């Protein structure tokens, strides 16, 4: 397992600009900035700072884990471009981490094992991301796959007594979430990333769920 550490994690799929280095199961370095439109200016300086603080050189990393989406068009491009550039330069492989799986892993720390919970995130002006995941100790599963729904339809979809996590303030009860954090991108990669690891990332693209659905429909 040790040859899969340390991991550099990058998360820029939303307003959170987060970078982390997971050293091992017990120690990590992480910086988070919650601010719109700063990701491209901050990210390389933050990674540089983290590496220095951790006393690491880029080439000593095992791989780079990057949040692959869905999420902000520009944000995901910033993260993936950074990962590719650094990875290419230091000859490191990349693990593209599904953003909502990492977020589910992050939330599962606070939810009893095997319990379903709901994640709702802002997708666009009229749309939401909606998913109902669970963690059974071995994998992140979904009792409702990640999908896009209309904001107006949300209340009819929710069931009673569901534990809801969202980045939006609704009238119904929700727990506010920000993230996933870059540490959880690293954690997901550490636990489940082995099959996703690739050196062949020239054509690796952000995962935009909406575009994907449009193309499938065609």
Partner 1 sequence: MITLPFDTVVESEIETEKVARSFAENLSGGDLILLTGNLGSGKTFFVKCVCASFQVNKVTSPSFAIVNEYVGTKTVYHFDFYRIKNISELYDIGIDDYLKNEEAIIFVEWADLWREIIPHHHYEVAINFVDENKREIKISRHE
Residue listed under structure tokens 């002006």? 125
CB of 203 to partner 1, least distance (A): 15
β-bridge pairing 127-135 and 118-122 = antiparallel
- Select from 82, 27, 19, 91 the least CA-distant residue to 50: 19
Tokens (6 digits) for 154: 């949300």
Q: Give the number of residues in contact with partner 1, rule: CB under 8 A.
A: 14
CB of 72 to partner 1, least distance (A): 6
72 contributes a contact to partner 1 by CB under 8 A: yes
For 68, counting Cβ atoms within 10 Å of its Cβ (0-12 exposed, 13-18 middle, 19+ buried), the class is buried
Q: Which of 16, 123, 131, 182 binds partner 1 (CB under 8 A)?
A: 123
Q: What percent helix, strand, coil does the chain show, rounded to 5?
A: 35, 30, 35
- Select from 210, 185, 193, 194 the least CA-distant residue to 80: 185
Stretch touching partner 1 by CB under 8 A, among 40-48, 52-60, 118-126, 171-179 = 118-126
Q: Which of 27, 45, 73, 112 binds partner 1 (CB under 8 A)?
A: 73
Stretch touching partner 1 by CB under 8 A, among 19-27, 41-49, 103-111, 116-124 = 116-124
126 contributes a contact to partner 1 by CB under 8 A: yes
198 contributes a contact to partner 1 by CB under 8 A: no
| Site residues, partner 1 (CB under 8 A) | 72-74, 122-126, 208, 210-211, 214-215, 218
């Amino acid at each position: 397992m040790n040859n899969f550490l340390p991991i550099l994690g990058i998360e820029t799929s939303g307003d959170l600009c987060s970078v982390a280095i997971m050293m091992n199961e017990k120690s990590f370095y992480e910086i988070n900035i919650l601010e719109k439109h700063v990701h491209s200016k901050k990210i390389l300086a933050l990674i540089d700072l983290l590496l220095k603080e951790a006393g690491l050189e880029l080439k000593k990393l095992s791989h780079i884990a990057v949040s692959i989406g869905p999420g902000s068009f520009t944000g995901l491009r910033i993260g993936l471009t950074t990962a590719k550039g650094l990875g290419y330069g230091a000859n490191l492989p990349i693990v593209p981490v599904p953003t909502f799986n990492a977020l589910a892993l992050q939330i599962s720390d606070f939810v009893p094992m095997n319990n379903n919970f709901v994640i709702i995130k802002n997708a666009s002006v009229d749309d939401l991301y909606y998913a109902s995941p669970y963690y059974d100790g071995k994998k992140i599963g979904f009792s409702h796959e990640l999908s896009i729904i209309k904001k107006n339809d949300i209340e009819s979809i929710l069931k009673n007594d569901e534990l809801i996590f969202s980045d939006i303030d609704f009238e119904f009860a929700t727990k506010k979430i920000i993230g996933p954090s870059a540490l959880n991108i690293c954690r997901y990669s550490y636990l489940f990333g082995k099959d996703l690891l690739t050196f062949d990332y020239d054509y690796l693209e952000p995962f935009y769920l909406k575009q994907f659905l449009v193309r499938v429909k065609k």
